[in-house]
Amino acid sequence: MSEPTYIHFDPQALLQDLTGSQTALVAVLRSFAGWRKAIEAELVAATEARDPARLGRATHTVRGTLSQLHADRLVGMATEIEKRCRHHDAGAVVVTRADIAPLISGLKAVTAEVTHYLATH
């Protein structure tokens, strides 16, 4: 049976990054769901607080961590939001819940694929 295709992250590239350690890969992916919950809560809280600095930090975290999972589309999204937060005018509301919605649904999609990978490997 051929390996299923994952479109939201790339487990093979991650495995290669981790110098081929399947044990390390599984340990990292097992932590992903908890990490996603925490970062999603922070993204929402920072957006609702209308705090661009805080939201910029949260999206920077998403950018760094998802680049490790080779979730390139989401890395691009997070980078865009981070840039908008960095170059905001003082007091201006630069990012809304609607702006972060695609990022949050993308994080959920990665989580679903990670869960599938763990269940089948």
Partner 1 sequence: MTTKAESPSEFISTAKAARQLGLSLGAVQQMVESGALAAWKTAGGHRRIRQDSVDALLARSQDTVAHPRPQTETLRVMVVEDDTLLQQVYRETFKSWSLPLEVSLFEHGLDALLEVGRRAPELMIADLRMPGLDGFEMIRRLRENPHARQVAIVVVTALSNDEIAEAGGLPHDVTVYQKPVPFHELHGYMQALIAQRRRERDLPA
Which one of the spans 40-48, 54-62, 96-104, 113-121 is the region binding partner 1 (CB under 8 A)?
54-62
Q: Is 12 in the site for partner 1 (CB under 8 A)?
A: no
Strands of 1-121, DSSP E: none
Beta carbon of residue 67, minimum distance to partner 1 (angstroms, whole number): 5
Give the angle 57-107-118 at the CA atoms, nearest 5°: 125
Among 42, 44, 68, 84, binds partner 1 (CB under 8 A): 68
Distances (CA, A) of 87 to 5, 47, 72: 37, 16, 23
Nearest to 62 by CA among 50, 74, 44, 47: 74
Which residues contribute to the site for partner 1 (CB under 8 A)? 14, 17-19, 21, 23-24, 27-28, 31-32, 35, 38, 57, 60-61, 63-65, 67-68, 70
